[in-house]
Structure 1
C-alpha cells in the first residue's frame, strides 16, 4: 500500500514523502479499512517534528482518523461486515491506503455523508465529547467559551454545544474567522485582535465551561471569565504550558481546572468513549446538526502541502487527505 513517510524520522513539512509498506493484516478484534480519506490534526504536525511520538504499539505512520470501507475482519469481530462504510479513531496509521484498527473504535458513516466529511469527525468529535461534555460537564442553558474557535476542534465544539442546547462564546483571530464562528452558531463571536475579550465575556454573563487550546496567554482571562462552579478544560498550550494561576480565585469561584489528551488513552477507554459518543453525539451528526466544515482537501501524495496549509493558520475547519 502507499503511505506517507517522514524522511529522516522527523523534520519540516517537506520531509513528508510518498512510500510503500506491506498491507496491514487485521489482528484479533480488529478490522482493516480501505482508506478513502484521512483527517489532518495538529498532533500530526508535532509528531512530524519529533515532538509527539506514537504510543506503544501504534504505527509510526501519521494519521489519527480515517473514513473508508471495511475490507477485512480479524477474528472475533461480529459487529462489522466487509463493505461497511465506516470512520475510525486511530493511534496512528491514517496517512495510508489501508489501516488496521480496533473494531471497537469504529463508527458507522451516515448514509448521506461522503468519506471526506466523515474523515473530519472521529478525532474532533471524540475530543470535544470527552473534554466538553465529560470532563467539562456542559449542560443545556450553560455557556461554553471556546478559544481557537475556527480550528477543527473549535468548529466541532461550536456545533456540538449548540446541538446540546448550550450557549457559545467563540474567540478567534481576525474578522473573517469571527464571522465564520458566528455563522457556525456561536452566540457571541469575538475577534481577539481587536475586541476586549474580558469585558465582552463579562457583559455576556461569563462562561460555565472553557475549552482552552491557547494555554498560558489566556490563563488570567479564563479565571476571570468563569462563573462560580466553572470548569476550565485545557487540551492544548499553543502559547506555552507554564501559566500563572491564582489559587485563591480558583477557591473562591470553586473552579475546576483539568485537561487531557486522547491518543494515549488505553484501548478499553477509547472503546467506552466510542460507545458514549455513538449514544449521545452521533444522533446530532446523523441529523445534520453537527457537520464541521472541511477547509481543504489534498491527495495523499500532497501531504506536505496539507501540513503547510494547517501550519499557516488561516483555515476554518478541517483539512483532509484523500487516497
Structure 2
C-alpha cells in the first residue's frame, strides 16, 4: 500500500509518502482499495498536533474518509462482498490506497458518481447530516449555513432541501457565493444576511461551520426556540455569547464532532443516513471537486485547504 504519514507533529516538513504491506481486516472490518482520498481540515489540525487520534485508529496515517472497492472482508462481515463499491468514514488511515474500515461505517457508493466524485462525498455528507439531526431540521424549517463554500456547507444546503426545509448559505466572499449559487443554493453575503434571513421570519436552525465570534452573530439571526449547531472552530476557539439573548430566544446552542464517537454511535448515524437519504446521494446531492493532487503532492493539498478561493473538496490521487 501507499500512504501519507505524519512523522510527529509540525508543518509540512513532517509529511511523507511511504509504502508498506497491505493491512489485514479484523473480523468486523473491510479493506477498501481507494484511488482517490478526500483531504479535510482535520488532517491539517492532526498534523499540527491539535486533533487527537482515536486510540483504535492509525496514529500516524491521517484521513477520515474512504471511497473505493472492497478487496477483503473480515470473518464476521456479512454486509459486504469483495467487489462492492462503498464510501464511508474512518477514524484515521484514509489518506492511503488501501484503507481499513468498520463494515457498519460505510454505505454503497452512488451509481451516478465516478470515483473522484464519490470520494468527495462521505465525510462532508455525514458531517452535514449529523449537524442537521442535532438541529432537528425538518419540514418547513429555515436553515442558515454559515461558511457555505466548503464541502460540508454545500452538503448541508442540499440535505436541508431533501429534508423539507429551506437553506440559506452565508459567506464572506462574493466570488465563492456565486459558485455556490450556481448549484441552486440561496446565498447571502454575511454583511447583509440579517435582512435576507429576517424576510423569511428568521432561522429555525443555524449550522455554523466557522465558529469563533460568529456564534454570537448567529443568535441575532435566530427565531425563538431556534437551534445552533457549531461544527468547526476555523474562525476561532472561543466566542462571547450574549446570555440574555440566548435566554430570551430560548435557544439551544450545541456542538458536534464525528471522529471521537464510539463505533456504535457512528454505525447508527450511517444507518440513519442510508435509511433516509441514500436514494438522493449522487443524484440530487453531490459535492464539487475543487482540485485533485497526486499523492506525491500531499503538502500542496494541505496548503490548498487554507487558500482563498477554495470551492468544494480537495482530493489526493493515489493512481490506479
Q: TM-score range by the shorter chain?
A: over 0.9
The reply on whether 1:226 has 2:225 as its aligned counterpart is no
1:190 aligns with one of 179, 188, 194? 188
The match for 1:2 is 2
Return the alpha-carbon distance in structure 1 between the equivalents of residues 177 and 116 of structure 2.
Answer: 25
| Structure 2 residue 288 is matched with structure 1 residue 290 | no
SS of the residue corresponding to residue 196 of structure 1 reads helix
SS at match of 1:181: helix
Correspondence for 1:319: 314
- Partner residue of 1:307? 302
Q: Which residue of 1 aligns with 2:254?
A: 258
Correspondence for 2:199: 203
SS state of the match for residue 265, structure 2? helix
Distance in 1 between the 2:46 and 2:216 partners? 30
Contact 2:168 2:185 in 1 (8 A): yes
Find the counterpart in structure 1 of residue 17 from structure 2.
18
Q: Deviations over 1:278-310 (max 9, x none)?
A: 111211115x11011111111212111111111
Q: Which residues of structure 1 form unaligned runs of 5+?
A: none
CA distance in 2, matches of 1:284, 1:112: 10
SS in 1 for 2:83: coil
The equivalent residue for 1:212 is 208
User: Which whole-Å deviations, capped at 9, do the CAs of 1:205-260 have from their partners, x for residues lacking one?
Assistant: 21111011222221221111001110000111222222122222222211111111
Matches within 5 A, 1:1-323: 1-7=1-7, 9-60=8-59, 61-132=61-132, 134-187=133-186, 189-192=187-190, 195-286=191-282, 288-323=283-318
Give the CA deviation at 1:14: 4.3
Q: CA RMSD in A?
A: 1.4
TM-score, reference length from structure 2: 0.95
> How far, CA to CA, are the matches of 2:101 and 2:185 in structure 1?
35
- SS across alignment from 1:283: coil
